[in-house]
Amino acid sequence: DLATALNNRGQIKYFRVEFAAAMEDYTAAIECQPGFEVPYYNRGLVLYRLGCFDEAMKDFRKVLELNPQFEDAALSLKQAILDKEEKQKRGY
């Protein structure tokens, strides 16, 4: 389906470190199928890598709302919270 194809294309761009283009595809996949948790997770990973912890946490929380058994999203959410706290402690 279209949402899966967009997500997969985003993955290819992510692996090429084309983060902005990957995020566009993940967002398009979400718009196409809002109940599909995987592109939220993948977009969250990009946001995390870019240091956008609040936005990443929002996506990881959405994944867990859609699929509470998504263990990688739970782990990623915990890591984003820890890293945000560490960033705030260091003052940047």
* 73 touches 41 (CB < 8 A): yes
DSSP assignment of 50-90, as one string? TT-HHHHHHHHHHHHHH-TT-HHHHHHHHHHHHHHHHHHHH
- Structural domains in the chain plus CATH codes: 1-88 (1.25.40.10)
Per-residue pLDDT tens digits for 23-65 = 999 999 999 999 999 999 999 999 999 999 999 999 999 999 9
Quickly state the pLDDT bin for 91 (edges 50, 70, 90): confident
* 84 touches 54 (CB < 8 A): yes
Residue 48's pLDDT is what? Answer: 97
Average pLDDT over residues 64-91: 96
Within 10 angstroms of residue 8's Cβ, the number of other Cβ atoms is 14
